[in-house]
Amino acid sequence: MKYLKQFGVILTLSFIGEILYRIIPLPIPAGIYGIILLFLALECKVLKLDQVKDVSLFLIEIMPVLFIPSAVGLMTAWGIIKDNWLIYVTITVITTLLVMVVSGWVTQLILRLKKKGGKEDA
């Protein structure tokens, strides 16, 4: 029952993210709204980590399996993308590296700010 409740909390926030996506005219995916809502709920202590931790760990563990439908979709669309595959691979590699670099910089910045502010409770 605990897992159903935790999964329900995550699904509820995802659903609210879908609603926000339909209401707010910004080019932000609905999943990002849901993640931001989850982050804010955890950060503002509206939601305790124990209320979503177990299911979150499970979802992270099975994440590779969740990419299978996308891979199958790419295989079925090969006829459409085969003429530009090099461009797609190049863009994917460049943006992946860019995300990794920016994420690293942001993480280092946050850690430095925490250390400077005397907040060692991570």
Using DSSP, state whether 55 is helix, strand or coil: helix
User: Is the distance from CB of 18 to CB of 37 less than 8 angstroms?
Assistant: no
Distance (Å, whole) CA 84 – CA 17: 33
Domain residue spans of the chain: 1-65, 67-122
Distance (Å, whole) CA 39 – CA 49: 10
User: Is the distance from CB of 41 to CB of 13 less than 8 angstroms?
Assistant: yes
What is the greatest pairwise CA distance in the chain?
56
pTM here is 0.66
Q: pLDDT digit string (tens) for 46-90?
A: 999 999 999 999 999 999 999 999 889 888 999 999 999 999 999
